[in-house]
Amino acid sequence: MTSLLLTGIGSLVTNDPTRGDLLGELHDAALVIDGTNIAWVGSRQDAPEADAALDVGGRAVIPGFVDSHSHLVFAGDRAEEFAARMTGTPYSAGGIRTTVAATRAATDEQLTANVSRLVTEMRRQGTTTVEIKSGYGLTVADEARALEIAGQFTDETTYLGAHVVPAEFQDDPAGYVELVTGPMLDAAAKHAKWIDVFVERGAFDADQARAILQAGQAQGLKARVHANQLGEGPGVQLACELKAAAADHCTYLTDADIDALASSGVVAGLLPAIEFSTRSPYPNARRLLDAGVTVALATDCNPGSGYSSSMPFCIALAVRDMHMTPAEALWSATAGGAASLRRTDIGHLTPGARADLTVLDAPSYLHLSYRPGVPLVSQTFIGGRPL
């Protein structure tokens, strides 16, 4: 096992709260990677020796992005649906069934290749951890294979059999809930860490979602919730009731929802690329942050409501349209994502953490929102290994 000294770091974001500010930022810094973990962090002039050294030439180094919400196991695309939205057709969840048909028809090899393509795309943009959901199969076999494929790329796999009610159960939603909580869950649970439900009009109501989430929890899966995307509803309150790790979307929130998030510790996952792609109102992150809610940023990369794999793009949107500071947005895209996944080993660059980090071709993290759309990632390390 060899050690590597990264030196010449103009700005180092550690996310270490003991260093006095939100990002624990150090200037003229260095860090040592020993094997897969961070071994030392500090001033360049105090850096210890290591087996090898890499001078990053004054560039900024940040924790790798933690994308805590994505839907990568699918086939086809919905570009025509996007074009229709841009000419005035409002977004609804109904288009999911289009992707379900294409995904069911795809081979394992086709689905695996598509996930590989998207994960590679994410890594090139600095993402080092990604959560991947099922949800475009909606049969016992298709949900299980989606999770098996996702598991080739991440440990953060989520069973989303309750994405929508498929066409063949349109007249029997109760029967579909029985399938999701019975044979489908049995087949999926061994391949999943999480269980999720889309709690929304046109998808699942609070009683259905509660039954599904509790069935998953009984089999050892941890809960996440798609909540309050298309309007005010019961999703956030249900997430808090069941002590879910995260309530994602949170586009439409009441004061009571915000109070519940703040008091429960449930992370509010904000997905601004969806609002960008659907021309929906952006959630007001400022309200959440001022109330003491932990906020995560994620891409929600999917072929329908938002086909972006870029965490830097989400950071720029969060700063421009969701009233976050550049520091808050970066924290939410790294440490916030780790909190959403209940992970303590990622999202920060402190001794003992996994050596997941991103070198920016810029002197400061501020350039992520200052220069939107510019490919600023110079190099990405995952578990101490450069990609």
Say how far apart CA 20 and CA 12 lie, in whole Å: 14
* Structure confidence at residue 95 (pLDDT): 81
Q: Which residue type occupies 66? A: V
Nearest-CA neighbor of 376 among 367, 386, 385?
367
The pLDDT assigned to 94 comes to 63
Phi and psi based region of residue 352 (left: phi greater than 0; alpha: psi -120 to 50; beta: remaining)? left
**pLDDT for res 96:** 86
pLDDT in tens, the chain (387 residues): 799 999 999 999 999 999 989 999 999 999 999 999 999 999 999 999 999 999 999 999 999 999 999 999 999 999 988 998 899 888 765 688 889 999 999 999 999 999 999 999 999 999 999 999 999 999 999 999 999 999 999 999 999 999 999 999 999 999 999 999 999 999 999 999 999 999 998 899 999 999 999 999 999 999 999 999 999 999 999 999 999 999 999 999 999 999 999 999 999 999 999 999 999 999 999 999 999 999 999 999 999 999 999 999 999 999 999 999 999 999 999 999 999 999 999 999 999 999 999 999 999 999 999 999 999 999 999 999 999
- Assign 3-state DSSP to the chain and report helix, strand, coil percentages, each to 5: 40, 25, 40
Question: pTM for this one?
Answer: 0.97
**E strand intervals along 123-265:** 127-130, 132-133, 157-162, 194-199, 222-227, 246-249
Beta strands 267-270 and 246-249: pairing type? parallel
| Beta bridge pairs of residue 127 | 65
How many degrees, rounded to 5, is the angle at CA 336 between CA 6 and CA 120?
A: 60
Q: Are 11 and 24 in contact (CB under 8 A)?
A: no
Residue 50's contacts (CB-CB under 8 Å, 6 or more residues apart) are: 3, 4, 5, 32, 34
Measured distance CA(320)–CA(124) in Å, rounded: 23
Q: Phi and psi (nearest 5°) for 239?
A: -60, -40
With beta carbons less than 8 A apart as the criterion, state whether 145 and 191 touch. Answer: no
- Give the type of residue at 386: P
Q: Output the six-digit token pair for 253.
A: 């929130």
Cα–Cα distance measured from residue 273 to residue 256, given in angstroms and rounded to the nearest whole number: 26
Distance CA 382, CA 127 (A): 9
CB atoms within 10 A of CB 343: 17
**pLDDT of amino acid 93:** 58
Amino acid at 9: I
Q: What is the structure's pLDDT at 224? A: 98
235 and 260 Cβ atoms separated by less than 8 Å: no
Tokens 């050690």 — which residue?
3
